[in-house]
């Protein structure tokens, strides 16, 4: 009994000594792993060297296949799960052999001791062996057996700067460790014994011989099925060191920079979709480079999960000549017309317009800012849906002026447009035509909101990202109205060769072209996907042939036809907040008694305008039709009531300038003494409050022009209260100032209504 007590005391003393040494020399496991970026299915997209310049990829527990685990344990430490980190039986056996032969011929290192040696590499001496044993006990104290085995498989050397089974499996066999065959697993088991002399690609025959020696040993041990061992013995080893995968390099680098502490960055990227997008974009760009167009960027978002499934920063990352390493998804570019759907949706939900409402498309001046349409032509009165479908600029600017730039900027801030948060308060009406900066990822996320009935949700990049709470950016009804318009095929931004296409995707889409033809956009969506696409040159060089219709949209169609072929088209079902009504074709408002042509329009009950149509007005005129009367000069019985078009002054000016025929009111009764202040002429040029710099030597002139009421036949111009000239209502008059300074411009119409405007003139020296 005394020896038992003595043994117990001894064990306690050893344990106390271990605890003391553990406090004095704590175990430190600070491994630097190679950051690995994976796709949604776990496939490695990209990897980077560890901080100590090693290819050392962290192995996940489910990547250790039973075959690999069994082969390692049988070869290195078959009692691994039974000893405390040190195998005393193996140590005594090895010591005996070494003493008999007078040299070290057999080792007794357990897997745990090998992990200790890999963590704390030193020369092989008896002292260092004792140190390894102490560290092995520390490892067993802190970690489970499975964790220690995982550490071992993460650290074993494979020559050069390759460490760990995962890095070796990927760089030599281009696959995950869980997919290794028996022959491959055993090959990776034997190489760490002599990593410098057994290097795949250089000594494959020696590796096969060493591998087969162990396979034969496993056969004698009946460790694996006989057929599997026979196949493994016959399996050739043709492997060599390959480069790490470099799929989606822009995306991978972005994730690496955003998550620098993560060894495994699990993203939402869909490898199949990514590869298809990459191939389509690369091939498409080969056709464009002959037109001096060299770059494109694509982003694909899954509308159900809000996950990024494809991310293409540029079509050719290696194209250094044309900035292939620039990430076009994050680049700030001019959006062209791509913000118009958000503008129209905002106007719908504010009750300003409906799809069939009419809006004027005529030249207009906003304090010197004169927007023009893409083709330089104008349409007069046009429906809202036509204005959006044909992407007209002037109606969009007019609509933004009604909504207010500040209100629209606030809406863009809600949609997380970064440049709006920085300098949105400094922008003006040109914002809607591309006079701001946006990113492809921001536009794509915005358009995804239309596919979700107006709900905006931040994009998911990583698998662990939760679905953020959606915010209602737009009302479902407003989003539906835009969807209806953007799914129309009778529109000018349908690619010219698309009408001959065998299959057009069932999507809603919008194009955009920036000023100077530097950016071509096409963004589309259906129930499943939103795809954003930019084409241009990262250098900022414009190209005359560059436009969203023919440069970007063909690739958009190809991507949809590849990743979501023959998708259903019933996804744009109307929400409960939408109603339908009959409206007058001429105005888009509910029909009046005189409205003959009606059409069905969608609207938001209680929100959309409900005023009756007034495109015609009943006017009392003389029996011979030469004069019109007002209530003050209406004769008794000697007149007739007739219907006349109720045109706005700007439309009348447009008719005159384009020499278009129109029905005008007869002149007002000249015998009437009443002076009307309502409907005074609007001075459209020069712009009130502006300063004009003129070349006096060149006799430069100012143009005077106004928009008078329908019944006005003549106007009279005054400068500083001095009569200048009389002209037809809409005709321009030119005036050469004699002196610099402030000028008062006055316009008096033949009804006695007057308007004043003030400008300043300066002469250039």
Is residue 474 domain-shared with residue 503, that is, in the same domain?
A: yes
In this structure, are residues 474 and 349 in contact, taking their beta carbons and an 8 Å threshold?
yes
Residue of higher predicted confidence among 675 and 340: 340
Give residue-wise pLDDT tens across range 5-23: 555 555 666 666 766 766 7
Helix, strand, coil shares, percent, the chain, to 5: 35, 20, 45
In this structure, are residues 300 and 288 in contact, taking their beta carbons and an 8 Å threshold?
no
In this structure, are residues 59 and 166 in contact, taking their beta carbons and an 8 Å threshold?
yes
In this structure, the number of other CB atoms found within 10 A of the CB of residue 371 comes to: 20
C-alpha distance across the termini of the chain, in Å: 119
- What 3-state class would DSSP assign to 609? coil
pLDDT over threshold 90, residue 469:
no
Give residue-wise pLDDT tens across range 165-212: 999 999 999 999 999 999 999 999 999 988 888 889 889 999 999 999
Q: Which residues contact 446 (CB under 8 A, 6 or more apart)?
A: 342, 415, 417, 456, 473
Q: Which two tokens stand for residue 663?
A: 């029905």
Q: Which two tokens stand for residue 553?
A: 């949209």
In this structure, are residues 438 and 422 in contact, taking their beta carbons and an 8 Å threshold?
no
Percent of the chain with pLDDT over 70: 92
Q: 169 — phi, psi (to 5°)?
A: -60, -40
Q: How confident is the model at residue 280 (pLDDT cuts 50, 70, 90)?
A: very high
Look at residue 403 in the predicted model and tell me its pLDDT.
95
695 located within any domain: yes
Q: What's the whole-number mean pLDDT along residues 308-337?
A: 96
- CA dihedral sign of residues 316, 318, 320, 325: positive
d(CA 64, CA 72): 11
CATH number of the domain encompassing residue 196: 1.10.3810.10
Is residue 413 domain-shared with residue 483, that is, in the same domain?
A: yes
The 3-state secondary structure of 328-380 reads: CCCCEECCCCCCHHHHHHHHHHCCCCCCCCEEEECCCCECCECCCCCCCCCCE
Q: What's the whole-number mean pLDDT along residues 266-290?
A: 96
Alpha carbon dihedral 374, 378, 384, 389, in 10-degree steps, equals -40
9 located within any domain: no
CATH number of the domain encompassing residue 742: 2.60.40.10
570 located within any domain: no
281 located within any domain: no
Q: How confident is the model at residue 500 (pLDDT cuts 50, 70, 90)?
A: very low
Q: Which residues contact 621 (CB under 8 A, 6 or more apart)?
A: 627, 628, 629, 639, 640, 641, 642, 666
Give residue-wise pLDDT tens across range 109-129: 899 999 989 988 877 776 767
Domain stop point among 216, 234, 252? 234
Q: How confident is the model at residue 600 (pLDDT cuts 50, 70, 90)?
A: very high
- What 3-state class would DSSP assign to 222? coil
Q: What's the whole-number mean pLDDT along residues 617-629?
A: 88
Domain stop point among 185, 208, 234? 234
Look at residue 425 in the predicted model and tell me its pLDDT.
86
Is residue 540 domain-shared with residue 582, that is, in the same domain?
A: no
Q: How confident is the model at residue 216 (pLDDT cuts 50, 70, 90)?
A: very high
Q: Which residues contact 422 (CB under 8 A, 6 or more apart)?
A: none
pLDDT over threshold 70, residue 729:
yes
Look at residue 106 in the predicted model and tell me its pLDDT.
46
Is residue 533 domain-shared with residue 592, that is, in the same domain?
A: no
Is residue 521 domain-shared with residue 600, that is, in the same domain?
A: no
Domain stop point among 185, 204, 234? 234
Lowest mean pLDDT among 201-210, 604-613, 699-708: 699-708
Look at residue 688 in the predicted model and tell me its pLDDT.
84
659 located within any domain: no
Q: Which residues contact 389 (CB under 8 A, 6 or more apart)?
A: 485, 486, 488, 490, 491
Q: What's the whole-number mean pLDDT along residues 475-490?
A: 91
Look at residue 573 in the predicted model and tell me its pLDDT.
84
pLDDT over threshold 90, residue 130:
no
Look at residue 22 in the predicted model and tell me its pLDDT.
64
In this structure, are residues 391 and 374 in contact, taking their beta carbons and an 8 Å threshold?
yes
Q: 683 — phi, psi (to 5°)?
A: -80, 110
Show the DSSP H helices in 601-737 as ranges. 649-657
Residue 595: domain span? 578-608
Q: Which two tokens stand for residue 276?
A: 């298809």
pLDDT over threshold 70, residue 3:
no
Is residue 432 domain-shared with residue 323, that is, in the same domain?
A: yes
Q: What's the whole-number mean pLDDT along residues 145-149?
A: 93
Strand-pair partners of 644: 617
- What 3-state class would DSSP assign to 508? strand
Give residue-wise pLDDT tens across range 509-547: 999 999 999 999 999 999 999 999 999 999 999 999 999
Q: How confident is the model at residue 565 (pLDDT cuts 50, 70, 90)?
A: confident
Closest C-alpha to 707, from 736, 732, 725? 732
Strand-pair partners of 308: 301
pLDDT over threshold 50, residue 481:
yes
Q: What is the mean pLDDT of the chain?
A: 88
Give residue-wise pLDDT tens across range 259-273: 998 999 999 999 999
479 located within any domain: yes
Q: What's the whole-number mean pLDDT along residues 140-153?
A: 92
Is residue 591 domain-shared with residue 554, that is, in the same domain?
A: no
Instruction: Determine whether 459 is exposed, middle or buried from the number of CB atoms within 10 Å of its CB (0-12, 13-18, 19+).
Output: buried
66 located within any domain: yes
pLDDT over threshold 50, residue 105:
no
Is residue 558 domain-shared with residue 599, that is, in the same domain?
A: no
The residue whose two tokens read 């023959």 is 566
Q: Which residues contact 7 (CB under 8 A, 6 or more apart)?
A: none
Is residue 585 domain-shared with residue 559, that is, in the same domain?
A: no
**Maximum mean pLDDT: which of 143-147, 231-235, 295-299, 637-641:** 295-299
Strand-pair partners of 497: none
Look at residue 101 in the predicted model and tell me its pLDDT.
58
Under DSSP, the state recorded for 633 is S
Is residue 461 domain-shared with residue 557, that is, in the same domain?
A: yes
314 located within any domain: yes
In this structure, are residues 342 and 415 in contact, taking their beta carbons and an 8 Å threshold?
yes
d(CA 737, CA 699): 9
For the chain, the domain total comes to: 4
What stretches of 566-689 adopt beta strand conformation (E)? 579-584, 598-603, 616-622, 639-645, 682-685
Q: Which residues contact 559 (CB under 8 A, 6 or more apart)?
A: 276, 277, 280, 298, 300, 531, 533
CATH number of the domain encompassing residue 373: 3.40.710.10
Is residue 148 domain-shared with residue 52, that is, in the same domain?
A: yes
Is residue 533 domain-shared with residue 586, that is, in the same domain?
A: no
Strand-pair partners of 512: 521
Active site residues: 76, 337
């Amino acid at each position: 009994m005394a020896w038992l007590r003595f043994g117990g005391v001894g064990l306690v003393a050893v344990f106390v000594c271990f605890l003391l040494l553990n406090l004095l020399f704590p175990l430190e496991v600070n491994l630097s792993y190679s950051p690995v970026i994976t796709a949604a299915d776990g496939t490695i997209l990209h990897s980077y060297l560890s901080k100590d310049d090693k290819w050392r990829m962290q192995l996940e527990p489910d990547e250790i296949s039973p075959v690999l685990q069994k082969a390692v344990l049988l070869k290195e430490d078959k009692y691994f799960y039974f000893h405390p980190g040190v195998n005393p039986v193996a140590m005594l056996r090895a010591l005996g052999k070494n003493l008999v032969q007078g040299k070290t011929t057999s080792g007794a290192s357990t897997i745990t001791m090998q992990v200790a040696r890999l963590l704390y590499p030193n020369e092989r001496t008896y002292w260092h062996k004792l140190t390894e044993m102490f560290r092995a006990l520390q490892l067993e104290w802190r970690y489970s057996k499975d964790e220690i085995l995982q550490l071992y498989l993460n650290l074993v050397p494979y020559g050069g700067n390759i460490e760990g089974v995962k890095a070796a499996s990927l760089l030599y066999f281009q696959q995950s460790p869980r997919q290794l065959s028996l022959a491959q697993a055993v090959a990776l088991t034997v190489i760490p014994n002599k990593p410098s002399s057994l290097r795949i690609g250089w000594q494959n025959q020696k590796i096969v011989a060493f591998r087969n020696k162990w396979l034969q040993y496993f056969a004698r041990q009946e460790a694996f099925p006989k057929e599997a061992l026979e196949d493994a013995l016959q399996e050739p080893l043709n492997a060599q060191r390959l480069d790490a995968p470099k799929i989606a390099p822009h995306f991978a680098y972005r994730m690496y920079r955003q998550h620098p502490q993560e060894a495994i960055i699990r993203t939402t990227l869909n490898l199949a979709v990514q590869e298809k997008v990459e191939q389509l974009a690369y091939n498409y760009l080969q056709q464009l480079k002959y037109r001096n167009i060299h770059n494109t960027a694509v982003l694909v978002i899954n509308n159900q999960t809000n996950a990024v499934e494809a991310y293409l920063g540029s079509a050719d990352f290696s194209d250094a000549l044309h900035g292939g390493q620039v990430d076009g998804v994050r680049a700030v570019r001019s959006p062209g017309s791509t913000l118009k759907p958000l503008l129209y949706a905002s106007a719908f939900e504010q009750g300003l317009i409906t799809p069939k409402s009419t809006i004027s498309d005529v030249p207009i001046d906003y304090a010197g800012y004169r927007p023009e349409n893409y083709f330089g032509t104008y349409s007069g009165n046009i429906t809202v849906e036509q204005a959006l479908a044909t992407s007209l600029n002037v109606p969009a600017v007019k609509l933004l002026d009604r909504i207010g730039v500040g209100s629209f900027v606030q809406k863009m801030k809600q949609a997380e447009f970064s440049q709006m948060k920085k300098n949105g308060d400094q922008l003006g009406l040109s914002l809607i035509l591309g006079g701001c900066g946006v990113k492809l990822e921001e536009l794509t996320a915005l358009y995804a909101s239309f596919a979700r009935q107006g709900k905006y949700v931040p994009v998911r990049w990583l698998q662990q990202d939760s679905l953020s709470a959606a915010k209602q950016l737009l009302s479902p009804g407003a989003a539906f109205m835009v969807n209806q318009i953007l799914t129309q095929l009778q529109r000018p931004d349908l690619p010219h060769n698309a009408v001959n296409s065998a299959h057009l995707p069932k999507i809603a889409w919008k194009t955009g072209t920036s000023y100077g033809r530097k950016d071509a956009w096409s963004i589309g969506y259906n129930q499943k996907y939103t795809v954003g696409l930019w084409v241009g040159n990262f250098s900022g060089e414009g190209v005359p042939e560059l436009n969203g219709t023919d440069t970007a949209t063909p690739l958009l169609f190809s991507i949809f036809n590849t990743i979501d072929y023959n998708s259903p088209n019933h996804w744009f079902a109307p929400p409960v907040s939408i109603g339908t009504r009959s409206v007058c074709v001429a105005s888009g408002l509910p029909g009046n008694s005189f409205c003959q042509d009606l059409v069905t329009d969608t609207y938001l009950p209680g929100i959309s305008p409900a005023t009756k149509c007034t495109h015609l007005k009943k006017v009392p005129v003389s029996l011979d039709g030469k004069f019109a009367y007002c209530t003050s000069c209406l004769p008794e019985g000697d007149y007739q009531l007739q219907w006349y078009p109720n045109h706005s002054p700007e439309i009348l000016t447009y008719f005159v300038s384009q020499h278009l025929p129109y029905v005008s009111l007869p002149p007002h009764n000249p015998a009437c003494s009443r002076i009307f202040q309502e409907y005074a002429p609007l001075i459209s040029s020069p712009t009130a409050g502006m300063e004009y710099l003129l070349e006096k030597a060149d006799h430069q002139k100012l143009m005077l022009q106004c928009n008078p009421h329908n019944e006005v036949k003549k106007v009279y111009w005054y400068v500083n209260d001095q009569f200048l000239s009389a002209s037809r209502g809409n005709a321009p008059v030119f005036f050469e100032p004699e002196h610099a300074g402030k000028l008062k411009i006055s316009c008096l119409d033949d009804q006695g209504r007057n308007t004043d405007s003030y400008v300043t003139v300066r002469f250039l020296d």
